[in-house]
Structures are given as C-alpha cells and as structure tokens.
A and B are shown apart, each in its own frame.
With several copies, the nearest count.
Chain A
Amino acid sequence: MTSFRFAVNVTPKPGILDPAGRAVEGSLGHLGIEGVQDVRIGRRAELTVEATEVTVARAVVERMASELLSNPLIEVFEIESIAGASSATDSQAGAD
C-alpha cells in the first residue's frame, strides 16, 4: 500500500450567492486594500488515502468530495494531489 495525499477545494458554484466573499470584499476598504475582486470563500480539505495505486486513491477522494465534502447543488470541487504523505510506506505494505 502507498499513501497519497490530496486536497479537495470546494468553492461556491458560479452564480450562487457567496455572502462570505461579499463580506470580505466589503471590508477591504477598512484594510486599505484596493483592486481586489471576485472573492469566493470556500473550504479546503486535505487528506491521506492508503491505496494500491493513485487511480484507486483518487477514486476514493472523488467520492468523498462529491458525497461528503461538497454540496453539488451549490458548490463545485476540484481535487489536487499534494505533497506531504511521506509517499510510500513500502516496508509496512510488505507486512500486510
């Protein structure tokens, strides 16, 4: 088994009201920041999957992202492969 680490980025669907993003934009004046637009606030999940190969791991993440981490009616997600899951644990895999 190998460990793969992924990130799932969940953001509000285009066209769906994003009250948090709007509130952030509205506050930039107080921060003295100009020229920032189209702020969208979403969620990010990072997770490690143990699987035999990356396609299997990605399929698991895909399912989690669509069924658990996002709401398809109002959100979209994308999956990223990220570093961090100190890759292979081959020696342990051998022990299984």
Chain B
Amino acid sequence: MPVRVGVVVFPGSNCDRDTVRALDLVGAEPVVLWHEQASLDSVAAVVLPGGFAYGDYVRAGVIARFSPVMRSVAEFAGRGGLVLGICNGFQVLAESGLVPGALLRNASLRFVGHEVAIAPVRSDTAFTRGLEIGRGLRMPVAHGEGRFYADAVTLDALERDGQVLFRYVDPAGMPADPDHLANPNGSLRAIAGVMNAAGNVAGLMPHPERAAEVILGSDEGFGIIRSLVESAAQAVGQGPAVIGTGAR
C-alpha cells in the first residue's frame, strides 16, 4: 500500500498540483489537506507546497501560519511527524517557528525565477537519504522572499548541530556567496534549506517537485521527494529503515 503524504492547500497555494504529481511519480499516495481542516487524515508526512498563501501579503507565509491546518501540522511535527516545506511552505514553517531563521526579501529586491544548483550538506536525514553530499542538484527557484537570515550565533549553532540541509553552490560546486549569481537571493552562508533540531521538519526554497522529470529540464529534485516518501514509509513501518534522522 502506498504511503499517504499530505499536501496542504492554502488559499493562494499554487504548487499543490505539481507537488501531488511529484509524489505520485515517487509512488506515494498524495492526500490533499484543505487549510480549514484540523484533521491531517492520518498521513505519514506533510508537504507544505509553494505558492502565495493568502497572497503573501504583509510577509510571505505569515497569514497562513494561523490557519487551522497549521495548528495540526505543528502538533504533528511535535510528535515527530515528517514535514517538508517547499518555497512558500518553507516561509510558512519559518513564520510558524517550526524551522529556524527567517526568509527576507531577496537582496536584489526582485523576484528570481531560474535554475539553481543546491548541494546536500548531509545524506543521513529524512529528507536527503541516499543523496550525495556536496553534489549540486539542479532545480528552479521562484520567489521574491527567500534570503535566509538568522543572527551569527544562530547560524553557527545551525552549522554545528547539522541543521543546514542544502546550500546554493556555484558551477565549481562551492557554496555561493550572498553576492554571487549562484546564490539567487543573498542567503547567508548560502543556505537554501534547513531543518529543526529534531530533524523531522525541513524547509527549502528551490522546487524539487518541478525537477522530477527529465523532460522538464532536470530530474535532480526527484531524490529529495523520494527521500521524504521513503522516510515516511519507514516511519509508519512500510519501508526500509531510515539511515538516520535528527541532528547530530
């Protein structure tokens, strides 16, 4: 039986259908979760997809944070449930305090929509299992507020505790400085994705679900979706053991 993975739909979500499709490709059973519902319909993992929830008015992700479904997602995460936020979903998680840091307006003050490369920092998390550390994965970014920010003390702690999941890398494979083109939004320490201390909630700005098929220009995002689904299956006893979860 395929593992059930929830995809939350807020008013203004616009990558929900793409995410459902990518989960389908990986062999999961996508379950659409409406923002007004409090029940998570016994899914094994939750994805908060990209888009402009509530128009992203005021600050990206902030209004969505108060919807009934997010209360349940926070509880689910508190019990160790797997949650992945992509783009706007990452912004919602950060605004909710479920992952560390904040996503500020892009340094260029412009929306960025193009392909980037992100490299996994670890290969032993629920979201990056089986990926090659440091190897750039090509996928699109599409956002106006994606500059990862945390104060220096927090950044040091995130790095030390292994909570940095992905970094933007330049063509040579090196983490891209905030003012380098390969860092699309000016993120500090080239951070493209982070997770919480427990290792079960993660967010990233680029769109792996749009890079899951060769015909779309890249299938290098597939592994991230697959990792989530495998970890979810393992969590509900339907799959192989997770190599390791949680922070170091």
Query: Does A touch B (CB under 8 Å) in the complex?
Result: yes
Question: Which residues of A line the B interface, CB within 8 A?
Answer: 16-17, 19-20, 23-24, 26-27, 30-31, 41, 43, 45, 67-69, 71, 73-74
Sample of 16 further A-B pairs with CB below 8 A, known A20-B55, A41-B57: A16-B104, A17-B107, A19-B55, A19-B57, A19-B108, A19-B186, A26-B54, A27-B63, A30-B66, A41-B58, A68-B58, A69-B58, A71-B59, A71-B62, A71-B102, A74-B149
Separation of A41 and B55 alpha carbons in the complex (Å):
13
- Which residues of chain A have C-beta atoms less than 8 A from B102's C-beta? 71, 73-74
- Which residues of chain A have C-beta atoms less than 8 A from B68's C-beta? 30
A30-B67, A73-B150 known; A23+B62 contact, CB < 8 A = no
User: How many A-B residue pairs lie within 8 Å, measured between CB atoms?
Assistant: 53
Separation of A17 and B107 alpha carbons in the complex (Å):
9
Q: Does B138 contact A (CB under 8 A)?
A: no
Task: Give the residues from 41 to 85 in chain B that come closer than 8 angstroms, CB to CB, to chain A.
Answer: 54-55, 57-59, 62-63, 66-68
Q: Does B95 contact A (CB under 8 A)?
A: yes
- Which residues of chain B have C-beta atoms less than 8 A from A73's C-beta? 101-102, 149-150
Separation of A69 and B58 alpha carbons in the complex (Å):
7
Find the A residue at minimum CB distance from B149.
A74
Instruction: Name the prevailing secondary structure of the A interface residues.
Output: helix
- Which residues of chain A have C-beta atoms less than 8 A from B55's C-beta? 19-20, 23
- Which residues of chain B have C-beta atoms less than 8 A from A27's C-beta? 54, 63, 66
Separation of A24 and B62 alpha carbons in the complex (Å):
10
- Which residues of chain B have C-beta atoms less than 8 A from A17's C-beta? 107
- Which residues of chain A have C-beta atoms less than 8 A from B62's C-beta? 68, 71
> Can you sample 5 A-B contacts with CB below 8 Å?
A19-B108, A23-B58, A26-B54, A27-B63, A41-B58
Instruction: Name the prevailing secondary structure of the B interface residues.
Output: loop
Separation of A42 and B139 alpha carbons in the complex (Å):
32
Q: Does B214 contact A (CB under 8 A)?
A: no
Q: Does B153 contact A (CB under 8 A)?
A: no
Q: Does B4 contact A (CB under 8 A)?
A: no
Separation of A23 and B61 alpha carbons in the complex (Å):
12
A27-B54, A30-B67 known; A20+B105 contact, CB < 8 A = yes
- Which residues of chain A have C-beta atoms less than 8 A from B66's C-beta? 27, 30-31, 67-68
Separation of A43 and B57 alpha carbons in the complex (Å):
11
Separation of A41 and B68 alpha carbons in the complex (Å):
24
Q: Does B109 contact A (CB under 8 A)?
A: yes
Separation of A7 and B62 alpha carbons in the complex (Å):
19
**Cross-interface CB contact of B57 among A23, A31, A67, cutoff 8 Å:** A23
Find the A residue at minimum CB distance from B71.
A30
- Which residues of chain B have C-beta atoms less than 8 A from A30's C-beta? 66-68
Separation of A70 and B109 alpha carbons in the complex (Å):
17
Most buried by B among A19, A24, A41, A69: A19
A69-B58, A73-B149 known; A23+B63 contact, CB < 8 A = yes
